[in-house]
Amino acid sequence: MIAETYFYNLPEKSIAMATIPPLAERMRPTTLDDYVGQQHLVGSDAILRRAIESGNLPSLLLWGPPGVGKTTLAFIIANQLDRPFFSLSAINSGVKDIREVIDKASKLKAENENLPILFIDEIHRFSKSQQDSLLGAVERGLVTLIGATTENPSFEVISALLSRSQVYILKNLEEGDLHSLLSKALKEDQYLSKRKVQIKEYEALLRLSGGDARKLLNVLELVVNAVNKTDVIITNEVVLKNVQQNMALYDKAGEQHYDIISAFIKSIRGSDPNAAVYWLARMIAGGEDPSFIARRLLILASEDIGNANPNALLLANNCFQAVNVIGWPESRIILSQTVTYLASSPKSNASYEAINKAQELVDRTGDQSVPLHLRNAPTKLMKNIGYGKEYQYSHGYEGNFSDQEFFPDKLSGTVLYDPGKNSAEEKLRERLRSLWKNRYKY
């Protein structure tokens, strides 16, 4: 966030306005009609909008990337329902803060006041004990919890709290949404509307923001303030000249969270252990959660290495378990070992491509019947009508293999797994070719 903002109303006269909030804060909408994006949730007759308008709002978790409107949506919900709004950040709040909010909620209930909405930003950073301290208040209805998270709640939120909350997934903003935000800011902001600002090129603004609405508006403000003229023409060159150098630092609040992790993953995928360990150090310096880093390595071990080196997944899994036991600062050593190993390992995305092809095939062909010989036959009736008949038990054949059909009839002969071109998977290819001669001719 920009702590101090300068506005220049005339070229020869500048006025410092250090107390003015950043543009993103000034443009925060207060109603659902002003809210940009997430029409699948808050558009006309959408599921979350109906829940808000009915007044029967459950506790909920808003899951999505940074800058798509999670915090804003929580504000709007509280405003529309005319409920007290308590806000905590998981980064700097503890059990004591939670208890203070619960005490306030109890007093409101005793006075027959509207019960509050408790918004917790980055709820995935709360420990199990912190999340446990919320349970009683949520169960008793003292507060309606709205948690915001950039991480999959299935992994980060305790099951008891998850089962009492509805999860809503927020999507990345579309390019049209971002253009709309910029246009709205130039027309409606009390300061920018006084300037003659024309955006001739959008590419650099959108690229530097990474689709993050908050960052986009703050980048716009930075550029306009940097041009000491009444008339401001924004081009890609102007944006890069005035902003790019300011984007280098890792933001502990999370604005560059996705940029840094993207560079980290791509360096490992690209087999550069030196760059990979550099980006690891950047995340460590930025206060990144070691569990988040380890979880991304676990995914990468299958997605980008797979059967080219099956040991990669084993090491990544052990790394994930170890960092959750060890913690900082020693976890940096375990992470470094895993990162350099994965980066140096041969790569294959064949398994990743196989499941993508398989899911696309299912979407395209629908629910194909399971062949009778592959069906289980736990009852006599099922046996009589042919379930399991003519199934060939592979271990009863030479080489533990029987050339039988495992696909539904209409999909016979389909090839989804194409082994990668590396020594480990070339051996798998040779074996598959020897078994399924008609499928693996190449």
Residues 392 and 427 in one domain: yes
pLDDT > 70 fraction of the chain, expressed in percent and rounded: 90
Rg of the chain over Cα atoms, rounded to whole angstroms, equals: 27
pLDDT in tens, 182-191: 888 888 888 8
Of residues 354, 353, 318, the one with CA closest to residue 335 = 318
Is residue 12 situated within a structural domain? no
Contact 268, 299 (CB under 8 A): no
Residues 206 and 298 in one domain: no
Give CA–CA dist 14/4, Å, rounded. Answer: 14
Token duo for residue 258: 């996705």
Is residue 405 situated within a structural domain? yes
pLDDT at 256: 64
Residues 383 and 315 in one domain: no
Of residues 178, 229, 186, the one with CA closest to residue 26 = 186
pLDDT at 124: 84
pLDDT at 374: 67
Residues 44 and 156 in one domain: yes
Token duo for residue 321: 């378990």
Residues 162 and 188 in one domain: no
pLDDT > 90 fraction of the chain, expressed in percent and rounded: 9
Of residues 58, 64, 63, 90, the one with CA closest to residue 77 = 58
Is residue 291 situated within a structural domain? yes
Residues 206 and 288 in one domain: no
What CATH number should be reported for the domain holding residue 420?
Answer: 1.10.3710
- Domain ends where: 247, 269, 292? 247
- Domain ends where: 227, 247, 267? 247
| Structural domain that includes position 123 | 37-169
Is residue 301 situated within a structural domain? yes
pLDDT in tens, 247-289: 444 454 444 667 788 889 998 898 888 888 988 988 887 777 7
Residues 241 and 267 in one domain: no
pLDDT in tens, 327-354: 778 888 999 999 999 999 888 888 888 8
pLDDT at 14: 39
How many separate domains does the chain show? 4
14-23, 62-71, 419-428: range with lowest mean pLDDT: 14-23
Give CA–CA dist 190/213, Å, rounded. Answer: 19
CA distances from 429 to 26, 346, 398, 417 (A): 59, 16, 20, 10
Residues 330 and 387 in one domain: no
Give CA–CA dist 348/306, Å, rounded. Answer: 6
pTM: 0.56
- In terms of Cβ atoms closer than 10 Å to its own Cβ (0-12, 13-18, 19+), residue 63 is buried
Is residue 14 situated within a structural domain? no
What CATH number should be reported for the domain holding residue 299?
Answer: 1.20.272.10
Is residue 26 situated within a structural domain? no
Look at residue 314 and tell me whether its pLDDT is greater than 90. Answer: yes
DSSP string across 235-288: -HHHHHHHHGGGG-S--TTSTTHHHHHHHHHHHHHTT-HHHHHHHHHHHHHTT-
Is residue 66 situated within a structural domain? yes
Residues 389 and 408 in one domain: yes
Most confident of 66-70, 314-318, 436-440: 314-318
